[in-house]
Structure 1
Amino acid sequence: MSVILQGLAAVTNRDAKVLILGSMPGAQSLASQQYYAHPRNAFWPIMASLCGFSVNLAYHERLVLLRQHGFALWDVLAHCQRQGSLDSAIRHEQANDFNHFLAEHGQLKLIAFNGAKAQQSFNKQVLPTLAITPPRLLTLPSTSPAHAAMSFDAKLQQWLQIKQRYQLNDGST
């Protein structure tokens, strides 16, 4: 039986330039109330490479550095039903309020999807309801350990597009 899951709060500041969206946090992330908490998820090693910080920093320190570098984190879905952690098991999706989020974050240049499911849910649940034109959308390979067909290095090369294409803060703000 699937249970109704509630996502995590957005990690952001008003001058964020890139919003990274997942679909819905996995079971381990929800249990620990931390984005990308599974130890084999490549998200934090990738962001550490992009932003130049140690992946071994405490969770709250990594969040501070992400915000300083112009990143925001959130998920497309506010609620859903899912048994386990796989995106393919997600049912009864309810999206977060992106009209409000985009209105409050006028500096956003990019919404980057962490995997195809996040992009698909956004296109289905969010785009038809938007009153605001969203910034550029970019779908990146999932950092989930379930997406093992692609190596870490190949994922990192795709994620580096964010740094190469968008003027981000150097973290000193």
Structure 2
Amino acid sequence: MTGIATDDRRRGFLPIVDADTRLLILGSLPGDASLKAAQYYAHPRNGFWPLIGGVLNQPLAALPYAERLDRLKARGVGLWDVIASARRSGSLDAAIRSPEAADLRGLIAGLPKLRAVAFNGKLAAGLGRRILADADDLALIDLPSSSPAHAISLSAKAESWAILGDFLPDTPFDR
């Protein structure tokens, strides 16, 4: 995994996917807390782990990071970001400058079971939808950001995030 560079250019992580990924959740670019921890969605107030845990009906937020990732993969969920690198001071998407797009098309080409791509927040949706504009065989889903900077309640976010369950097997054995 890569992380905080010596200048203000930030580099994202490697994708968390395998050949059984059915749902790919794309953020914009990891924030400073995530880059420092070398973990997706590491900021303690980010709602990602409770939100996706609710979709999977599993207490992901309470688990060690490696086990969280194992449980996502077991249910066909992958993670990545639409931006491979960008200049940014701080963690807010509004501060992103000179973004370099991640190779979403290249990644998707290697995911034979992929059914849907979900975008975690407006910036991820805007950039990701442009890149995947002609991906007619995939459902593209815009989600409210899991970031604490997106000021709606976690329960309101969870209502929108619940649709993700429609694209996943009921159990890890249904893949």
Distance between the aligned counterparts of 2:107 and 2:172, measured in 1?
A: 23
Secondary structure of the residue that 1:121 maps to in structure 2?
helix
Take 1:154 and 1:62, find their aligned partners in 2: how far apart are those partners?
23
1:56 corresponding residue in structure 2: 62
2:42 is aligned, of 11, 27, 37, to 37
Q: How far did residue 103 of structure 1 move?
A: 1.1
Give the drift of 1:49.
1.4
Q: CA deviation at 1:133?
A: 4.9
CA contact (8 A) 1:111 1:135 kept: yes
Match of 2:172, SS?
A: coil
Match among 58, 71, 74 for residue 68 of structure 1: 74
Aligned to 1:171: 172
Amino acid paired to 2:146: T
**Equivalent AA in structure 1 for residue 69 of structure 2:** L
Q: Could you tell me which residue of structure 1 aligns to residue 140 of structure 2?
A: 137
Please provide the CA RMSD for this pair: 1.7
- Alpha-carbon deviation of 1:168? 2.4
Aligned to 1:155: 157
Cα separation, 1, equivalents of 2:23 and 2:15: 13
Query: How many Å separate the matches in 2 of 1:143 and 1:43?
Result: 5
Query: 8 Å contact 1:7–1:78 — kept in the other structure?
Result: yes
Q: Write out per-residue CA displacement over residues 26-53 of structure 1, whole angstroms, 9 at most, x where no aligned residue.
A: 1100111100000000000111112122
Deviation sequence 1:80-137 (CA, Å, 0-9, x none): 111100001111111111222111002111000001110112234x247x7x656111
Instruction: State percent identity of aligned pairs.
Output: 39
Q: Which moved more, 1:100-109 or 1:48-57?
A: 48-57
Q: Report Cα offsets for 1:38-89 as digits up to 9, x if no partner.
A: 0000000111112122221100000000000110000001011111000011
SS at match of 1:10: coil
- Mean Cα displacement is larger for which, 45-54 or 65-74? 45-54
Q: Partner letter of residue 22 of structure 1?
A: G
- Aligned equivalent of 1:93, options 99, 119, 124: 99
- Following TM superposition, the consecutive aligned residue runs of length 4 or more in structure 1 with deviations greater than 6 angstroms are none
Give 5+ residue unaligned stretches, structure 2: 1-6
Query: Which residue of structure 2 aligns with residue 111 of structure 1?
Result: 117
Task: Give the conservation status (yes or no) of the 8 Å contact 1:6–1:78.
Answer: yes
Please name the residue that 2:33 is paired with.
Answer: 28
Which secondary structure state, in structure 2, belongs to the residue aligned with residue 161 of structure 1? helix
SS for the counterpart of 1:123 is helix
Counterpart-to-counterpart distance in 1, 2:16 and 2:147:
19
TM-score (norm: length of structure 2): 0.89
TM-score normalized with structure 1 length = 0.90
Letter paired with 2:84 = A
Total equivalences in the alignment: 167
